[in-house]
Amino acid sequence: MTDASTNSAPAARKGASLHRTDPRTRRRNGAERRFRLYGAAAISMGLLFLCVLAVSIIRSGAPAFTHAVVEVEFTLSEAQFEEAESQLLKTAVYERYFNAALTAQLRDAGFDVAFDENTIRRIIGKTGGTIRSYYRADPDRVGESVTLDLPVSSRVNGYIKGRVTRENLLDSRFLTQADLDLVDAMRDRGLIETKFNWGFLTGKDSGVDNPGGAGIGASVVGSFFMMLVVLVLSLPIGVAASIYLEEFAPRNWFTDMIEVNISNLAAVPSIVFGILGLAVFIQFMHLPQSAPLVGGLVLTLMTLPTIIISTRASLKAVPPSIRDAALGVGASKMQSVFHHVLPLAMPGILTGTIIGLAQALGETAPLLLIGMVGFVARQYPDGVVDGFLDPNSAMPAQIYTWASRADPAFYEKAWGGIIVLLVFLLAMNIVAIILRRRFERRW
Amino acid sequence: MKVIDMYDAPHTGRTVTSNDIKISARNVNVFYGDNHAIKDVSVDIEDKMVTAFIGPSGCGKSTFLRCLNRMNDTIESSRIEGTICIDDEDIYDRRVDPVQLRAKVGMVFQKPNPFPKSIYDNVAYGPKIHGMARNKAELDEIVEKALRRGAIWDEVKDRLHAPGTGLSGGQQQRLCIARAVATEPEVLLMDEPCSALDPIATAQVEELIDELRQDYSVVIVTHSMQQAARVSQKTAFFHLGNLVEYGETGKIFTNPEDSRTEAYITGRIG
Ligand SMILES: Nc1ncnc2c1ncn2[C@@H]1O[C@H](COP(=O)(O)OP(=O)(O)OP(=O)(O)O)[C@@H](O)[C@H]1O
Ligand SMILES: [Mg+2]
């Protein structure tokens, strides 16, 4: 107090003009300006990284959504259909008809490039199976002139998208330089076109040798059933547990310990939950392996702490005077919580839940441990029960599986899968915002 | 009709009045952890009367008031000793459900705390949970009556469904008063209900208090001597957790027995 500067400062300020900022004010304003600058810089950095990330994801992933198809006009006569079906190697017959039709079409178009059946096979793969199932699905098509869209092989696809170039292509049994001449010629005449690849969104995982046929649809379904389990279990359990802990439980060493442990659980690596799930749900309880039900249970364990922590925080943020007001008019504890506190905490609870679900949706490691690896996503479940119990994968596990396969075409699929995953996350966040708006009635 | 027992005698020495004792507190001690906030307070609060609690800030007026409807139960660190009886029933008895008690003993808090709901819902909430209305029309009637008694009806009758938190501070406090009287309590505890009100609203609230006195027992905490003198029949002066003096308002303000009371009233301590 006797410090000279503290004593002299007010004296100096007395009577000073308001039109001149004194040095102390100038220093304070300077500090504030600098702080704002740091903040703006931090935000810009964040935005910059976000842009870089978004651009690179879209650039790498977009090709997965398109594929090159060969458009072939084709008519299968009644006689041909019957002959093919009577043979032992049915698909080979279909393939022969098709190759004849394509060759004729190319000749008519005045192609001067030399090619043979093997060339066609290298460009669009074995077509017999596809064509046979096309006609068997709808026998009425026999005898009609139809245009078949047949996806080209993954290497040709890569060539068209620029991933494979003539320079780095070595002649192999998969593709030769000469084949590319035909491909170029077909593209010039519009016989090969790039189209949107619906199969990527609706399809299932394919074998390692068929990246073109791989789709993420089945794992989207797997993720969906898993999220259903997580939501149905973790939201009610998490919210009920938080309400009890926050509003009803006595404060003592036991509840303190629970609180500390919940915080710790939120920081436990997800792979630990995976191995726990493997031990408890599969080895001990004998639930089916690779089932979305088990995946959902494991992710529920992981999500619960997040939901509990955020729910408790938003319950704490409700002013105590509201509780007093409710108790004061004779409401019971439970009425005060459910009529007044919970509605006010709802936006925060929803935000926490959606963040927890989003985390769970993107989780890979625990799923790998309970067998929900990508390549089990080979078929769609037949019904709701199967959806929970049949082996399936989930989006992130599928992406991981694709990324670890050797063929670069799968790498592209992985990026495409990431885009699908991000779209789902975005959708969830939008739902969260809408729900929050609905509950957050500003009074 | 009851004969006032001897606890009053040393404090007031006044003549026995014709009112029943509504609340009787005996040797009440309240602790917040180690903080001894209320020290051995014994007091009898009469029915159909307004009792004012006065005293310097932090002397325990709110604390004692909150003991009367067990709102202090919600404060974890608080602990109470002694007995408080309402209508000769110990409210800290094990059999007493504080929720039932609070329906009987309403409270208006020091800070206005309307629910973040509409004005209508604020008032209707209590009657609703106590099942006081059989239909919407009855509820509307209860709400209107309560808002009128809270001296706020004219200001809000056109916007009953506007948010209660959108009102001014004084209006909010009157809304809280309306909310408290809507449940028809037998005792109304008011913790500085007029500290945020202008003189007109204050006069209205005081009128309300006077009217409530016909049926209820009202306990009001106030920092305004004039208000205590205007509305109350009995006054209790608290100082540092002690009940220093309790007696008829007129006597406390004109002829206090304790030197501390006199010092406070004349503005020398506080
Ligand atoms: N929730 C609480 N926790 C701990 N101590 C408290 C609490 N509420 C009040 N106290 C203490 O109890 C004592 C009495 O407080 P109280 O609120 O009853 O005072 P008051 O007479 O109402 O004062 P004012 O006129 O300022 O409202 C004070 O010393 C205060 O610090
Ligand atoms: Mg107070």
The CA–CA distances, whole Å, from B24 to B91, B95, B167 equal 10, 18, 37
Q: Is the pLDDT of residue B255 over 50?
A: yes
Q: Verify whether the Cβ–Cβ distance B129 to A331 is below 8 Å.
A: yes
Return the minimum-mean-pLDDT range out of A98-102, A247-251, A279-283.
A98-102
Alpha-carbon distance A192 to A172, whole Å? Answer: 22
Instruction: Find residue B236's DSSP bridge partners.
Output: B53, B246
Alpha-carbon distance B176 to B189, whole Å? Answer: 12
Q: Verify whether the Cβ–Cβ distance A330 to B165 is below 8 Å.
A: no
Q: Is the pLDDT of residue A159 over 80?
A: yes
Helix (H) or strand (E) holding B31: strand B21-32
A126 backbone φψ class: left, alpha, beta (φ>0; ψ -120 to 50): beta
pLDDT reported for residue A156: 86
pLDDT reported for residue A76: 83
CATH number of the domain at B45, please. Answer: 3.40.50.300
Q: Is the pLDDT of residue A324 over 80?
A: yes
- Mean pLDDT computed over B157-166: 91
Helix (H) or strand (E) holding B84: strand B78-86
Q: Is the pLDDT of residue A306 over 90?
A: yes
Structural domain harbouring B204 = 6-265
The CATH number that domain A217-439 falls under is 1.10.3720.10
Residue of A nearest to B68 (CA): A328
pLDDT reported for residue A13: 65
Helix (H) or strand (E) holding B239: strand B234-239
Quickly count: other Cβ atoms within 10 Å of residue B88's Cβ. 10
Ligand 1, from B28, B30, B31, B35: best to mutate by most atoms within 8 Å of Cβ? B35
Q: Residue A283 in contact with residue A323, Cβ under 8 Å? A: no
- Mean pLDDT computed over A382-390: 86
Output the CA angle B182-B187-B188, nearest 5 degrees: 60
- Residue A229's nearest CA partner among A45, A436, A370 is A370
Tokens of A359: 């985390």
Alpha-carbon distance A96 to A64, whole Å? Answer: 30
Distant-in-sequence, close-in-space partners of A26: CB < 8 Å, separation ≥ 6: none
Number of domains chain B contains: 1
Alpha-carbon distance B231 to B206, whole Å? Answer: 6
Note whether B51 contacts A: Cβ–Cβ < 8 A. Answer: no
- Mean pLDDT computed over A175-196: 83
Amino acid at A180: L
- Which residue's CA lies nearest to atom 19 of ligand 1? B58
Q: Residue A369 in contact with residue A276, Cβ under 8 Å? A: no
Q: Is the pLDDT of residue B14 over 60?
A: no
Alpha-carbon distance B115 to A443, whole Å? Answer: 9
Return the minimum-mean-pLDDT range out of A337-341, A435-439, B159-163.
A435-439
User: Ligand 1 within 6 A of B24 CB?
Assistant: no
Give the closest of B116, B130, B179 to A344, CB-based: B116
Tokens of A295: 């995946």
Residues 291-350 of A with CB under 8 A from B: 319, 321-333, 335, 339-340, 344
Query: Is there a domain that residue B88 lies in?
Result: yes
Alpha-carbon distance A436 to A355, whole Å? Answer: 13
Query: Is there a domain that residue B1 lies in?
Result: no
Alpha-carbon distance B270 to B260, whole Å? Answer: 10
pLDDT reported for residue B19: 65
Query: Is there a domain that residue B270 lies in?
Result: no
pLDDT reported for residue A442: 56
Q: How confident is the model at residue A85 (pLDDT cuts 50, 70, 90)?
A: confident
pTM of the entire predicted model = 0.81
Q: Is the pLDDT of residue A419 over 90?
A: yes
Tokens of A165: 């170039």
Q: Is the pLDDT of residue A318 over 80?
A: yes
Q: Residue A164 in contact with residue A178, Cβ under 8 Å? A: no
Give the closest of A251, A322, A327 to B115, CB-based: A322
Return the minimum-mean-pLDDT range out of A56-65, A207-216, B84-93.
A207-216
Most confident of the following: A95-99, A382-386, A433-437, B220-224: B220-224
Between A148 and A41, name the one with better pLDDT.
Answer: A41
Tell me which DSSP letter residue A140 carries. Answer: G
Q: Verify whether the Cβ–Cβ distance B99 to A344 is below 8 Å.
A: no
Residue ranges of alpha helices (H) inside A144-252 are: 154-161, 177-188, 198-202, 217-243
Alpha-carbon distance B264 to B270, whole Å? Answer: 6
Helix (H) or strand (E) holding B220: strand B217-221
Q: Residue B124 in contact with residue B181, Cβ under 8 Å? A: no
- Mean pLDDT computed over B187-197: 89
How many Å lie between the alpha carbon of B180 and the closest alpha carbon of chain A? 6
Phi, psi (rounded to 5 degrees) for A71: -100, 120
**Percent of chain A with pLDDT strictly greater than 90:** 42
Q: Is the pLDDT of residue A295 over 70?
A: yes
Residues A170, A175, A177, A180, CA torsion sign: negative
> What Rg value do the Cα atoms of chain B yield, rounded?
18
Q: Is the pLDDT of residue A315 over 60?
A: yes
Q: Is the pLDDT of residue A275 over 50?
A: yes
- Kindly report the average pLDDT of chain A as a whole number: 87
- Kindly report the average pLDDT of chain B as a whole number: 87
pLDDT reported for residue A5: 45
Q: What is the pLDDT of residues B197-245, one digit of tens each?
A: 888 888 888 988 888 888 889 999 999 989 999 999 999 999 999 999 9
Show me where the domains of chain A are located: 71-196, 217-439
Q: What is the pLDDT of residues A182-191, one digit of tens each?
A: 888 888 888 8
3-state secondary structure of A378: coil
Q: Residue B41 in contact with residue B28, Cβ under 8 Å? A: yes
Query: Is there a domain that residue B133 lies in?
Result: yes
Q: Is A140 exposed, middle or buried (0-12, 13-18, 19+ CB in 10 A)?
A: exposed
What's the ipTM?
0.85
Query: Is there a domain that residue B17 lies in?
Result: yes
Q: How confident is the model at residue B56 (pLDDT cuts 50, 70, 90)?
A: very high
- Residue A358's nearest CA partner among A271, A415, A292, A431 is A431
Between A16 and A279, name the one with better pLDDT.
Answer: A279
- Residue A367's nearest CA partner among A281, A266, A264 is A281
**Percent of chain B with pLDDT strictly greater than 90:** 59
Q: Return the residue matching tokens 């609703």.
A: B128
Quickly count: other Cβ atoms within 10 Å of residue B120's Cβ. 19
Return the minimum-mean-pLDDT range out of A122-126, A212-216, B38-42, B83-87.
A122-126
Alpha-carbon distance A355 to A266, whole Å? Answer: 13
Residue ranges of alpha helices (H) inside A69-197 are: 78-86, 90-108, 117-124, 128-137, 154-161, 177-188
Tokens of A299: 């992710």
Q: Residue A160 in contact with residue A68, Cβ under 8 Å? A: yes
pLDDT reported for residue B55: 93
